[in-house]
Chain A
Amino acid sequence: DTAVSQTPKYLVTQMGNDKSIKCEQNLGHDTMYWYKQDSKKFLKIMFSYNNKELIINETVPNRFSPKSPDKAHLNLHINSLELGDSAVYFCASSQSGGAGGQFFGPGTRLTVL
């Protein structure tokens, strides 16, 4: 009964490739997020969707494109991968307003060679 799931858990790829990470939540939440955690464990918001509408779009290269086909899914597509994209990417979800806190997935460790 995983609340927020991500696939794949690990992703190893070459520079220049295009890859996608998928996220699904079964909590009935209407808001979903992508965070990036760097090698020093610093967490930073990348994107947020509320009811399939893009709400937060931080300063992220255009190579990163989120897509939300419905409220329960938020995918992240990355074009032309670079070495600096290596990180752990976390998906999270919450109800509007966020008073209940955000619930995080297990993360996807992306390694770009």
Chain B
Amino acid sequence: AQSVTQLDSQVPVFEEAPVELRCNYSSSVSVYLFWYVQYPNQGLQLLLKYLSGSTLVKGINGFEAEFNKSQTSFHLRKPSVHISDTAEYFCAVSDLSSGSARQLTFGSGTQLTVLP
């Protein structure tokens, strides 16, 4: 079984500042890793994903994440945030042993609030 820990439940940051949202995972097998964003009263939108290959992955809206196998981490970063980035961010993991239906295990979420 896998698990995901998002170390910060809330991250306030000023507009145009950089931000890092932290995610650590635990799994006994290889995994796929994902970051999703949820704007208020909306569904989840896929930001980016790591499947294999290059450990630095780029996603939508200027976000990127780096997979670190030795530290079992997949931290999300953005060099300069905007007010519109205010949302809840979820890290998720899917292990490669779960057959045709890839069950996603989500972290508890990080509320990013961008201040003017």
Residues of A participating in the B interface, judged by any CB pair closer than 8 Å: 4, 31, 33, 40-45, 48-50, 55-56, 90, 92, 94, 96-107
Nearest B residue to A98, CB-CB: B102
A48 to B45, CA, bound (A): 19
Consensus secondary structure, chain A interface: strand
A43 to B44, CA, bound (A): 11
Q: Is the CB of A56 within 8 A of B101?
A: yes
Residues of B participating in the A interface, judged by any CB pair closer than 8 Å: 32, 34, 36, 38, 41-46, 49, 51, 88, 90, 94, 99-106, 108-109
Q: Please give the distance in Å from B23's CB to the nearest CB on chain A.
A: 14
Q: Is the CB of A97 within 8 A of B43?
A: no
Q: Is the CB of A31 within 8 A of B106?
A: no
Kindly identify which residue among B46, B90, B94, B102 contacts A43, using a CB–CB cutoff of 8 Å: B90
A72 to B43, CA, bound (A): 18
A44 to B107, CA, bound (A): 10
Q: Is the CB of B106 within 8 A of A43?
A: yes
Kindly identify which residue among A42, A44, A50 contacts B100, using a CB–CB cutoff of 8 Å: A50
Q: Is the CB of B32 within 8 A of A99?
A: yes
CB contacts (< 8 Å) of A48 on chain B: these are 101, 103
A49 to B77, CA, bound (A): 34
Q: Please give the distance in Å from A35's CB to the nearest CB on chain B.
A: 8
Q: Is the CB of A106 within 8 A of B46?
A: no
